[in-house]
Structure 1
């Protein structure tokens, strides 16, 4: 490297010629210094004297900026390494920088981070070591504090028309609520949680953290089981800005009948119906013929009917004979007498046995239990 006519203003030694900055780039004031004087006050790494990391003792979230963040760290060492890496600053003149860190666990809340950096500056390879103590401060995040305080903004009540929701419907409704909360948590929504779930004589009550979640849960329950829902607001308080805060109750009303139930409509004499769908107006299959049934506009979503049982109540019995296109002979599962009953078109005439339901409406052949539902 050739020498220029410039001399170091600090020690007087000649300064090696350096390329001029590109147009528009700021001129480095240290450019006039020789390497010895330049490196006397040069710091490869700018590191804080100490770092404090606020973590939630309940869920492990880390406070960054003005919010809590779920970082998914396996332990506090992972958190400390990440926080130190974000706090360290490498000199802009350094190139090809590499670094490694060795954590030292001092106690349960203090980790000493030994960091070693290497980089190329003015053609010289530099090595610098820094030690950064990391203090782990255990606190309670907003979300866990709300959960501990039984906070909630919405209530979802699950009821059914003229009946009590089944155990399957109650379990399914609760599962839907937890699935929605999990989906929202995956998107980074830390305000999503189920506060409380409780069964009553009439059905299920769920307290949820936000009104948005409550509405989503009510909508998805109706999508899964049919019925409808309504909402009602209650003023509970005002926030710090003076805005009114409402708590919303979402009342889910499941249909009068459920899928798989067998009913005998009172508005006709065409025989029992196996309920296939309760979304919108009731749809099903006639057990006497196998034809499709759909509740008429005059009777509303579902007709007045006698409940006869469910498809799970069917019993396997012997198919004695196929008399014609409309009649078959089977053994009564209770008396073992041969009886002639209606032949629905879904029945397999070559079968040895068929499922039947005996009720106050008579004896009827059922579809096979694994037959797909018509939604």
Structure 2
């Protein structure tokens, strides 16, 4: 009796014996075909005819899905390789697959990707090459468009209380904003940017891309430099969904006194060299060297009169140390010998000392009392 054999239903040729599927397992309709007929319709690699990559001509971001993404590529060849890699597909039945991509720069906007694939199907070694042209299309992303158009949503105004902020305070406020933006960008927030910084006669203005950024920047500035902040929203328009859109001005008022000021608090204990205005007002009593601290009540500076700054102090000669509480120095203006208070920070071995002359009298000023 002759042995039964299977035949290919398409060409009629006998089919070599192959492993049968397990009982109950589905059997593919093409499984009954011989190898020749099977590979006639077999697509080893699925590749698009061409790929268009939209990149921002200003920042290099790539448009993927429905948003712009910072990819950090060195050039657009890296971007093209990644896009092609994501678009290519290999048949699920292929095993031991390996592949490589070789880019060919055709012109500034076109890269031809040569993709080589190898794999095993039905114990048959397959090799295929596909060529996918990648077209680079340059556009302007939403972020760069907003920057170029001067878009802003919040304005941070740095001002002083009964004074103009120092150049160091203005510079530090801008640095704080830049540091926050850098942190947001590192975290992938493409919508965070500084639109403009402007120096005015009253202080620096910082325009930012979102209201939340304005609040964050303002809070950090006041936390570091002291003072208080108030917000003033202004309705500017409605979005496509009918939601009201506001611009918010964050008005910062730095403390009346700042590091390096010499003030006379309303407590009859003598002048104070201010060392910090963060949180509370802190300083050093010039008459004794004792530490001074006063709370800001609801953001208001404790009552005091400004006598000058540490930069107003002048170097003068120490005539004699009279006792543990007093020292005699030359008045830097009249050159008269005057006896003044000897604070704890006074060094009796030094032949000269810095003093500040004000309406409160003559006082020794320390060289290293101000926080750096």
TM-score, normalization by structure 2:
0.91
Query: Unpaired runs of 5+ in structure 2?
Result: none
Say whether the 8 Å CA contact 2:232–2:249 is kept in structure 1.
yes
Classify the secondary structure of the residue corresponding to 2:367. Answer: coil
CA deviation digits over 1:170-217, x for unaligned, max 9?
111111111111111111111111111112221122211100000001
Say whether the 8 Å CA contact 1:159–1:203 is kept in structure 2.
yes
Q: Does 1:305 align with 2:304?
A: yes
Q: Does 1:292 align with 2:300?
A: no
The residue number in structure 2 matching 1:79 is: 79
Say whether the 8 Å CA contact 2:262–2:306 is kept in structure 1.
yes
Measured on the aligned residues, the alpha-carbon RMSD in Å equals 2.5
**What does 1:140-151 correspond to in 2, within 5 Å?**
140-151=140-151
Distance 1:113 1:269 in 2: 83
Q: Does 1:269 align with 2:276?
A: no
Q: Does 1:196 align with 2:178?
A: no
**What does 1:224-263 correspond to in 2, within 5 Å?**
224-263=224-263
Distance 2:308 2:269 in 1: 17
Q: Which has the larger displacement, 187-196 or 306-315?
A: 306-315
Distance 1:300 1:216 in 2: 18
The residue number in structure 2 matching 1:184 is: 184
Q: How many residues align?
A: 370
Say whether the 8 Å CA contact 1:4–1:14 is kept in structure 2.
no
Query: Unpaired runs of 5+ in structure 1?
Result: none
Say whether the 8 Å CA contact 2:223–2:279 is kept in structure 1.
no
The residue number in structure 1 matching 2:362 is: 363
Q: 1:319 to 1:96 in 2, by over 3 A?
A: farther
Q: Which has the larger displacement, 248-257 or 303-312?
A: 303-312
Distance 1:251 1:57 in 2: 36
Distance 2:4 2:331 in 1: 114
Q: Which has the larger displacement, 21-30 or 216-225?
A: 21-30
CA deviation digits over 1:222-249, x for unaligned, max 9?
0111000011111111111111111111
Say whether the 8 Å CA contact 1:295–1:301 is kept in structure 2.
no
The residue number in structure 1 matching 2:214 is: 214
TM-score, normalization by structure 1:
0.90
Q: CA deviation at 1:71?
A: 0.7
Classify the secondary structure of the residue corresponding to 2:15. Answer: strand
Q: Does 1:65 align with 2:75?
A: no
